[in-house]
Structure formats: structure tokens, C-alpha cells
Structure 1
Amino acid sequence: MTQTSSRTSADNYFENFEVGQVIAHARGKTMTEMDNVLLTNMVMNTAQGHFNEHLMQRSSGIPGFDTRIVFGGINFSLVIGLAAQDTGEQVLRELGMDKIRLKTPVHHGDTLYAFTEVLEKTESDRTDAGIIRFKHFGINQHDKLVYEGERTVLMKRRGAWGDL
């Protein structure tokens, strides 16, 4: 039988992260019209700026806001998703998301990339896991900051979980 640890990265347990460490995540993702319109409608966000191109073109007059913008919840989720391979595989529980800031509008066709800084590592009340606080950043293809936010997780310790 294949061990669970052989299916995940060997270097993303609690012990592998150091305060101050910055991770540039490997993948990027281009935001498509389908991503925005489908997910915006699925979560029942009725703000027309996400799906009414005609309204945006004639009413805004503000550069960057004269075409549909991607719902911020999608931008936030995508950045966390891009970071997940490196910061989420050994997570037992999400403890919190905080200080979320959407800094620059995202439009269809923009490509997002993610970076993570390790802000803090603390002991937990569990011997098999510790607490890590990350700061995630999302940038677009023009290196403009589109998202930043903090995420706190309960992360497995290698000694307790590494060979299950």
C-alpha cells in the first residue's frame, strides 16, 4: 500500500518553514471570463460590474474600471489556491484569514501569480502539529499587487505524520 506521505511534497511540514522565508509559487493562472461570470453568479454576487460590459463601458470613465472586473472573492481564492501546493498539503485546519486587501482590479485575461512569506511559527496544544501564519501576495502579469492577506493554519509535524 502506498503511504500518504509519498503522495505529498517532502518539504512542507511545520518543521520546513522558517520565519522570514519567502516562497515564489510555481504556477500562474489566467483569469478567464468563464471563471469570473460563472463563480460570481454561483455565489449570487449581483454587482453588475462583474458581468455587465455595456454598463461598465458607458458609466465608469475611470481607466481600469471601464470593463468588467473580476469578483474579489475569486482573486483571493485563486491566490490561496496557487499557494496551496506549497503551503496547504499538510494543513490539518484553517484557523483564520485576516487583513485581506484587494489592491488592483483584475480583468479577464489577467494572469495571477502568488508569493508567500512566513510571518510566524508557534506551538499548538497538539504534539503532532504547530501553527503557522502566512502572508500571501498575488500579482498580475504587470507585477502589480492585486491581493495581500494573512492566513493562519494548523500544520502537521513531520515526525507525527511523515510516514503514515
Structure 2
Amino acid sequence: MKIAKLTGRDNYFEAFRPGQVIRHARGKTIEPLENVLISNLVLNSAATHFDEHAMQGTQFGQRAVFGGVTAALVIGLASQDTAENALAEIGMTAMRLKSPVFHGDTLYAYTEVLSLADADRPDAGIAVFRHWGVNQKDAVVFECERTVLLKRASHWGDR
């Protein structure tokens, strides 16, 4: 399988092909602040994310990162390649948190282009992506399918 690396270049609708796999260039190490801040912002008060002492007696032995943080970071890592020319986010389905993520883990993102279709407007097309994230041990921690309305280079490329 040939894996492309885009990161900001040539990411209009026409650049994608069904079956194409992209390894996004950047990784992100999870800091405790990110987990606590986002968990607080969305009012997730589960001890799993806040109480290190309580979590020492569990199967994890430490606090786990809130799944919303994991999802946001994987989608964020993929966004420079798959959302920079987005006109609209249409949907996200089939979200799965596959393995726990902990403070200090580093996440990397991959994308497979599942399908491309014409939109109801000539300046854009619809792409369906499968995103997944792995940690530094290559364990899959997150996956989802995301549908995006993307600009066509033929209409937006010279702007």
C-alpha cells in the first residue's frame, strides 16, 4: 500500500482518490493540561480523568485521557490535509475508542479516502474519509468516518 504525505499541499477535492491512504506528518504528545482543561470545559467530571490516586487501584493504574480529547486530537492532526479546503463538515459516524490513552502518549493520525461524489454545487465535492489514530506503540486508539464538502481546485484554486 502506498502511503501519501500531504500536509497542506494539493488537498482540494480533485487531489483525493478512493483507496488513498495518508499518514499525516505531525504527532502530538498528550499533556495533562489538555485532558483536564477539555474535560472541565465539557463538564466531564469522571474520576477516571481527574483522580490519580483513585485510578492507581484500577486496571489502568493511572488517569486515562477523556475520549473526546483523543477524538479531537486525531481529527485535528488530520485536518491540515483533509479540512483546509473544507466548505462544510457534513457528518461523523462510526466513532470508536479502541484503546486507552494516557498522559505522555503521542498520537499520530492516518486517513483513508473511502469515497468521492459530486455535490449539488459545481465548486465542491463530497469526500468520505476514514480517520484513525495510533499511539507511540502503533496501537489503534481511535477511528471514525467523516464526510466533508471540499472545494474543487477548478473553482477555488486561483483565489
| Count of residues in correspondence between the two structures | 153
For 2:91 and 2:48, how far apart are their aligned partners in 1? Answer: 29
Aligned position for 1:114: 109
Query: Counterparts of 1:88 and 1:42 in 2: how far apart (Å)?
Result: 24
Shift of residue 9 of structure 1? Answer: 3.8
Q: Distance in 2 between matches of 1:41 and 1:49?
A: 13
Partner of 1:145: 140
1:131 aligns with 2:151: no
Aligned residue for 2:96?
101
Normalised by the length of structure 2, the TM-score is 0.94
Inter-partner Cα distance in structure 1 for 2:55 and 2:127? 41
Moved over 2 A (4+): none
Pair 1:66–1:9, CA change in 2 (3 A): closer
- Larger of the two Rg values belongs to structure: 1
AA of the residue aligned to 2:28: K
- TM-score when scaled to structure 1? 0.91
RMSD over aligned CA atoms reads 1.1
Find the aligned partners of 1:9 and 1:142 in 2 and give their Cα distance. 26
Identity level (%):
59
- CA distance 1:135–1:44, shift in 2 (3 Å): same
- CA positional deviation for 1:119: 0.1
1:92 to 87, 106, 109: 87
How far apart are 1:10 and its partner, in Å?
4.2
Unaligned runs of 5+ in 1: 1-7
In structure 2, distance between residues paired with 1:47 and 1:91: 34
